[in-house]
Amino acid sequence: MNMAVKVTKFGGSSLASAEQILKMKKIVEADEARKFVVPSAPGKRFKDDVKVTDLLYSLHDAASHFEETEEIYRQIVRRYTDIRDELGLSIKIEDYLEKVYEDIKTGANEDYAASRGEYLNGLLIADLLGYDFIDAADVIFFDENGGYDAKKTLSILPGALKLHERAVVPGFYGSLPNGKIRTFSRGGSDITGSIVARAANADLYENWTDVSGFMMADPRIVEDPKKIDVVTYRELRELAYMGATVLHEDSIFPVLEAAIPINVKNTNDPENSGTMIIPAVEGRGEADGITGIAGKKNFTVITIEKDGMNTEIGFGRKVLTCLEKFGLSFEHMPTSIDTISIVVADVRIRHCIEELIDEIHAVCQPDSVEVSSNMAIIATVGRGMIRQVGVSAKLFAALADSHVNVRMIDQGSSEINIIVGVENDDFEKAVKAIYNALV
C-alpha cells in the first residue's frame, strides 16, 4: 500500500521566529506522511510587529518613489539573519537578500518584491528540515490575465513533486507566461497549499495557524468562542469570504474536485484536533443550527427606488450595466418590489461614487437613489439553518435588544446564510449579540 501523503501549510504566525519555526519542525518530523511543506513569510511575533510581507511592500513602494530604502531593508535582513542564526543554520541568506534588494531597486515588480518573503523563508526551512527546495515560480502558473492557470499547473506540478521524496514549496506566488512573478491575493499561501495537496494527490491538507481551528466567531471579537469541529467546503467559503481570515476563501477550489479534506490546526497546540473541512457532512443537516458568524467592515450600500420596478423588464440589467461601466463587482444585491440595493466595498467605489450615481440616474430613471457608506456586513452561516424555524427571529430580536440598527437584510440564495448590514460602529456589538443569541 502507498504511504499516506500530507501537505502541511504553515502560516506567517507559525513561522514568525526561530522559536515558532522549531515548533513547525517538531510537527513535520512527528509524522512521516508530512512530505510537502508550504511556508508563508515570517508573520507578526507580537501584536504591533510588522509582517515581512508588509515590509517588502513598503520596500518596493519606497524604491519606486526613489525614497529612503535602507532602514526597511535592514529590518528585513534582521528578520532572516536572526532566524538563521538562532536556528544555527549556515546558509548564506545575505547573498539571496542582496539579490532581492538589487532587483527591487532596479525596477522589479511589486508582486516579485512581496513574494520574496515566502521564497527566502522557504530556503531557510528547506535547509532546516533537510528537504528539497522547489521554487514556486517553476511549478505554479498564472495566465496572461493574471488568473491562476490550473491546467498548466496540474500538467507540471504533479511530475515535479514526484521527483522529490520531501520538499518545501514556498506559498503565495507563481509565474506569469512571460516569466514574471505573480502573487495570489493577501493570505494566498493557503491557496498554494491547496494546489500542492491536489497535485500530490494528498490524503490530507493540513493548514497550521495560531488558532485551534475555525471558531464560531472571530476570537478578537467574541471571547473564547466555541470551535467548529466539522464544516463543509461551502460553509467555509462563505465564512472565509465574509471575514474569517483563518483560511483564504479560494483555498477550497483546488482540493474540491479531489475531495481532499483540509484540517486547520494550531502550531502552538498540535494535539488539538482543530477543524476538519470536508465536502459534505453525512447524516447531519437541518437540525444543526448555525455553523459560524463572520463579517467585514467598510461597505457602501446604494439603494435604488422606483415605483413599478418589478414590472419593468431589464431594470436589473440596466443597474448592473452602470456598475460594469465603472469596472465594479458587487457583494450582495437584495431586492424588494420597488427597490434594489447594491452592496460594494468602500475601497472599490470611493473614487467613482458620484459619477456612478449620475450614471444610474441617467440610465435607470429611478425615483430616488440613497447612498450609505461605512456599513459592515455580517453573515450568519449554517447548512440547513434556513429551514430551522426561529433562527432569524432570534437573530433579529438579539440585534434589536442590543439597539443595533439593521440597515440591510439579505438571505443568500445558497440558503446557508443570513446577511445583515449594520453601521461600522455597531459591528462588534452586533457579532457578539448574534453569537450570544444563537450559540
Ligand X SMILES: Nc1ncnc2c1ncn2[C@@H]1O[C@H](COP(=O)(O)OP(=O)(O)O)[C@@H](O)[C@H]1O
Among 8, 17, 40, 251, binds ligand PHD (CB under 6 A): 40
275's grid cell: 477543524
Q: Which of 124, 129, 211, 260 binds ligand X (CB under 6 A)?
A: 211
Q: Using CB under 6 A, which residues numbered 278 to 317 contact ligand X?
A: 292, 294
Q: According to the binding rule CB under 6 A, does residue 264 interact with ligand PHD?
A: no
CB of 180 to ligand X, least distance (A): 25
Nearer of residues 172 and 315 to ligand PHD, judged by Cβ: 172
Q: Is 42 in the site for ligand X (CB under 6 A)?
A: no
Q: Binding site annotation covers 9? A: yes
Q: If contact means CB under 5 to 8 A according to the sort of partner, which of ligand X, ligand PHD, none does residue 220 touch?
A: ligand X
Tell which positions 164-193 bind ligand PHD, by CB under 6 A. 171-172, 186-190
43 binds ligand X (CB under 6 A): yes
User: In angstroms, what is the minimal distance from the CB of 161 to ligand PHD?
Assistant: 20
Query: Does the annotation place 210 within a ligand binding site?
Result: yes
Q: Which of 17, 20, 121, 209 binds ligand X (CB under 6 A)?
A: 209
**Is residue 366 within the footprint of ligand X (CB under 6 A)?**
no
Q: Which listed residue (30, 220, 282, 354) binds ligand X by CB under 6 A? A: 220
Q: Binders of ligand PHD: how many residues, by CB under 6 A?
A: 15
Place of cell 507566461: 177
| Residue 69 vs 251, nearer CB to ligand X | 251
User: Binding ligand X by CB under 6 A: which of 149, 218, 410, 426?
Assistant: 218
To the nearest whole angstrom, how small is the minimum distance from the Cβ of residue 7 to ligand PHD? Answer: 14
Q: List the single partner that 219 binds among ligand X, ligand PHD, none, CB under 5 to 8 Å by kind.
A: ligand X
Residue of minimal Cβ distance to ligand X: 11
* Binding partner of 186, given ligand X, ligand PHD, none, CB within 5-8 angstroms per partner class: ligand PHD
What are 196's three cell numbers?
500542492
Considering the complex, state which of residue 141 and residue 208 has its C-beta at the smaller distance from ligand X. Answer: 208
Q: Does residue 53 interact with ligand PHD by CB under 6 A?
A: yes
At residue 298, what are phi and psi to the nearest 5 degrees? 70, 65
For residues 276, 277, 281, 285, the Cα torsion angle rounded to the nearest 10 degrees is 100
CB of 277 to ligand X, least distance (A): 12
Give the binding site for ligand X (CB under 6 A).
Answer: 11-14, 40, 43, 187, 209-211, 214-215, 217-220, 244-246, 292, 294
Task: Detail the residues annotated as belonging to a binding site for substrate.
Answer: 53, 118
Binding residues for ATP: 9-12, 209-210, 220
